[in-house]
Amino acid sequence: MSKFDDIRPYNDSEVRPVLDRILTNPELIQAVSSLRFPRLGKLLPWLINPIVSRVLKSQLAGVNSVYDLQMIVAKYMRKMITQRVSELTVSGIDKLEPGKSYVFVSNHRDIAMDPAFVNLVLNDNGLDTVRIAIGDNLLTKDYVSDLMRLNKSFIVNRSATAPREKLKAAKHLSAFIHHSVNEESSNIWIAQREGRAKDGLDKTNTAIVSMLALNRPKPQPFAEYVRELNIVPVSISYEWDPCDAAKAQELYAHQEHGEYEKDEHEDIASIAAGIAGEKGHVHVAFGDVLKADFENADQVAAEIDRQVWDNYVLHPSNHLAYKKLHAKKSTYPVSQKGEDFVAADYAVEEKLFEERLAHIPPAQRDIFLAAYANPIVSKELAEQDAQVEQ
């Protein structure tokens, strides 16, 4: 038994038995039916579910490895992109070395799509896909846990409450990540903070960096251990967030009532919405490997923030929201088309933005706007900090 069996992804020998098990799970079949056929899945489950079950078994009949499964996932990703993404662009991929493994610390806007886009871009450029950190709070169903672990996800224990249990879980996770990178040459994807940045403010939680370093032997210098992990900041930007209205509603509830009570399977619904919703232009930016002589986790977190903000691609939606919220024009260029982004295109984007805003309750509109405007605010703050340092 591996000491990481409780959190690691499934390996090739486990793929077929796990698939055979979950393909008989009626909850999984109903979930797929509801996602693929929202109306018919609810109205005629007795008719749709058996069809979905047969199709799934047929499509997955030849899957006997993690790679086989991920190629099927990639096929569906590409189909989704043709329907829901106007353009997928990437920068910084040329800085990654084939055969070298990295810890990608990413900003976090969408539960499933963030690592999925990173995976697709890596695979299309001949690089290995990532092992994905996923909180156990999302694994509300056994079949969900199985599906995630089949797709190279590993489990982050967020259910531990006692301080000793939390520390033990964090050390275990830290050891697994270091082992993955340095012993198994596996890439890692982990969000820069727990939970999505629903307010659009991408900020690294220093506790994430501290966790990464918990496995460091006491005699080893902190900076040396950080370099061993090959940490690369990743910045993902969406022109449109499929969950923007839901995020605004949640943040408004916190603002007005001090709390927000999630439905039991709300996160799963968010995953479905993120996959099915319109995203417009999506950009994935890979930063530089962290190699400086960092003295502590705060310095590492600050550098991750700097790179995430600096590499974030601004869309017309960001500029339109910033102008409405702050009553002034952003000094940053529209990055989507650069100098080729003509006024006529901007007019189309503004119409789409106004239509989206019209569906948001008036009391929640400032929150909605802030989520799109805040990447510009972050860039402004970063520039101010740089000027102070000079």
Measured between its terminal Cα atoms, the distance across the chain in Å is 54
Q: Using a CB cutoff of 8 Å and minimum separation of 24, what contacts does 270-275 make?
A: 270/111, 270/243, 270/246, 271/111, 271/112, 272/35, 273/242, 273/243, 273/246, 274/110, 274/111, 274/112, 274/113, 274/242, 274/243, 275/35, 275/80, 275/112, 275/113
- Domain count across the chain: 2
Q: Among residues 285, 284, 305, which one has the least CA distance to residue 201?
A: 305
Residue 73 within any structural domain of the chain: no
pLDDT for 272 equals 87
282 & 339 share domain: no
Instruction: Please state, in angstroms and rounded to a whole number, the distance separating the CA atoms of residues 139 and 214.
Output: 25
Range of the domain at 102: 83-310
pLDDT for 31 equals 86
pLDDT for 49 equals 93
Residue type, 47: L
pLDDT for 45 equals 87
276 & 387 share domain: no
Tell the burial category of 345 from Cβ atoms under 10 Å away from its Cβ (0-12, 13-18, 19+).
Answer: middle
pLDDT for 334 equals 65
Domain boundary among 270, 289, 310: 310
Give the number of other Cβ atoms within 10 Å of residue 242's Cβ. 20
What's the DSSP call for residue 11? -
Residue 175 within any structural domain of the chain: yes
Note the pTM of the prediction, 2 decimals.
0.94
251 & 149 share domain: yes
The total number of residues written for the chain in this structure: 390
pLDDT for 35 equals 78
220 & 321 share domain: no
149 & 234 share domain: yes
198 & 153 share domain: yes
pLDDT < 70 positions in the chain: 1, 333-344, 390
pLDDT for 343 equals 58
pLDDT for 335 equals 55
Residues pairing with 134 in the sheet: 155
Residue 121 within any structural domain of the chain: yes
